[in-house]
Structures are given as C-alpha cells and as structure tokens.
Amino acid sequence: MGRVIKNADTSEVTSVSLDEDVLAEGADRIPAEQVEETEGDDADPPPGDAAPQGRVLRAGEAGRSPEPVTVRPDEIATQDESGSGPAAPSGPDDTGTDAPPADGAADDPDEQEPTRTDAEWRAHLEEKVEAARAEGYEEGHDDGYEAGYDDGYAEAEATLRAEFDDTRRQLSEDIARFEELWETYIDDAESEIIELTLDLAETIVDAPFTETMRQASEEAVIEAVTELAATPPVTIRLHPVDCQRVRESGLVTRLQENYEGLTLEPEPDFEEGDWSVSSPTGVVRRLRAEVLETLRGELRRATTDSEAAPDADGA
C-alpha cells in the first residue's frame, strides 16, 4: 500500500519497482497533476512549490494502465493482514500517526496515581501520621537528651565541686589539728626527755664509783692541784668517805711530796664523789648538784633553740 507523493517531494527520493500487490493498489490512483480542479476548489493554492491536492480516482475512471510510481522506501506501508481496505491518502495537512493522542492517553499508567478506597486512604493517612509521630519523637528525644545531658553535667560538676571543697576543708582542719597535737606531743616529749636525761645522770652520779671512774676522779684532782700549786697553800676538800679512801690509796702522800703546803680536809656538806681544790688564786671543784644543774640548763637551752629555729625560717 503506498501513498501519493507530491511532485515537490520527488527531489530526494529513489525510484523503485513495486511488487505486483503494490502496483495493483497503485492502479487505483492517478497522478494529482492530471486531476481537474472542481468548482469547490477555490481555496488559495498551498504556499511554495507544492502541487495542489486533487481528488482520488478509482480504477477505471482514469483510463490508464499500471505504471511505476516513485515513492520513498521508508514510506511504503504494507496492507493489513486482516484484509481491510487501503488507507486514505495523506495530504499536506494530514498528520497521520504524528497526531498527538487523546488527553491522558500518552500518560504512563504506572505514573498515574491509582484510585484509593476510603479504607486505603485511612490506612495511608495513619501511616503518614505514624511516620510524622516517629520523626517528632526522635527529634524530641535527641533534643531532650542534649538538654538532659547539659543539665546533668552541670549538676554533677556542681556536686563534685561541693564535695571537693568540703573534703579540702576537712583535710585542712585535720592537718591543723594534727600540727597542734604534734606540737603538744613534742613539748611533752621534750620535757620528759629532759627529765629522763637528768634521772639518768643522777643515777650515774649516785652509782658507786667503779675503778675506772675513781681513777678519772683522782686524775681530775691531780690536774687541779697542779694548776693551783704555783700559789700555795693548796687545800683539797672531799667527802669524809672519799677523804679516807684517798689517804688509804697514798695519793695525798705523793702530792705532799711534790707540792709544799698541800693539805687534805674532809667536808661533811659534800656528797660522795664531790671534791674541790682551792688556793689563793682560785678554786676548781666538781660537785654533783652543780653538774646536774649545768646539764639541765644545757638541755633547756637546746630545746629553746630548736623551737626558735622554725619561727625564724617562717619569718
């Protein structure tokens, strides 16, 4: 099945020989230029070089035999298998299959929103509401978590700071109390140490003289006599017991042989172990009471110096 080609369209086409079916169909038409215009064709000719549209003649009306027709190969349309009649010829204004489909016919059925029932719309609405509720819950949960975290952090920081300040205050009080107790303990300990030292010294002094201590005491007496013998007379005073012991040892006899004017006198006021050597130039003595008093004074002075040293460092 072919369509009539206008003369203006033959410049870019190819001449082909049609098969018998096509020729048979083409025999029913005559060229448009051989068709006379009718009285009703008073319209203006088409613009340009296009040939005017004529009336289609049936077989036998033209009085011509079949002949080749020049057509475009891509415009040849085969006859429908159903055996329907030939398609109507197309003209300049014939849009054919190029005409747009009816409204909505070209729309993709998949893109068209299906019609929903009330139940479907209700389910769809509930789904949207549930999704919006879940989204709002999640956003509210996040906002609440951040706000709660900030509040909890600030509260925990304030609590820890208060606990830290309280602990530091208690620790400071404990340190001050410990220092006070330590000072009291040191004071009491120093007093007790002094008393213990004095008791120890008295015990040592009151103890019976050993041979070594007796020899040391005799050497001290001899040294004192030697120091004062330059200005006689020299007098040695001892406890009566010690005086008898010195006479028995022969010490006085040896001293009298070496130093003129040397005398030995017992002194009842002395304690055992006390002695004194005197001359016009001076006195050298060793008395138990004086030794203990000197020791006590030295211990007290040492304690006072140790207490004054921290105060000087702090100043």
61-108 residue pLDDT tens: 656 666 666 655 555 555 444 444 554 454 444 444 444 444 544 455
Q: 306 phi and psi, to 5 degrees? A: -70, -30
Give the per-residue pLDDT at 64.
62
- Give, for 278, the enclosing helix (H) or strand (E): strand 275-279
Domain boundary among 68, 88, 108: 88
Would 133 be classed as within a structural domain? yes
Same domain, 221 and 295: yes
Nearest CA to 32 out of 68, 64, 4 is that of 4
Pairing state between β 234-238 and 262-266: parallel
Based on the domain organization, do 217 and 310 belong to the same domain? yes
201 lies in the same domain as 218: no
**DSSP class of residue 117?**
-
Q: Is 266 helix (H, G, I), strand (E, B) or coil?
A: strand
With respect to residue 107, please indicate whether it lies within any of the assigned structural domains: no
Residues 202 and 228 in one domain: no
Residues 278 and 235 in one domain: yes
Q: Residue type at 72? A: R
pTM of the shown model: 0.36
Q: Do 270 and 238 meet the contact criterion of CB atoms below 8 Å apart? A: yes
Find the domain containing 82 and state its range. Answer: 1-88
- The verdict on residue 112 lying in a domain is no
Same domain, 253 and 302: yes
Residues of the chain with confidence (pLDDT) below 50: 1, 8-11, 13-16, 18, 22, 39-41, 43, 79-84, 87-88, 90-102, 104-106, 109
> Residue-wise over 54-76: b if at least 16 C-beta within 10 A, else e?
beeeeeeeeeeeeeebebeeeee
> What pLDDT score was predicted for residue 167?
92
Number of domains the chain is built from = 3
**Where is the domain boundary, 158, 181, 207?**
207
Q: What pLDDT does residue 172 have? A: 93
Domain assignment present for residue 131? The answer is: yes
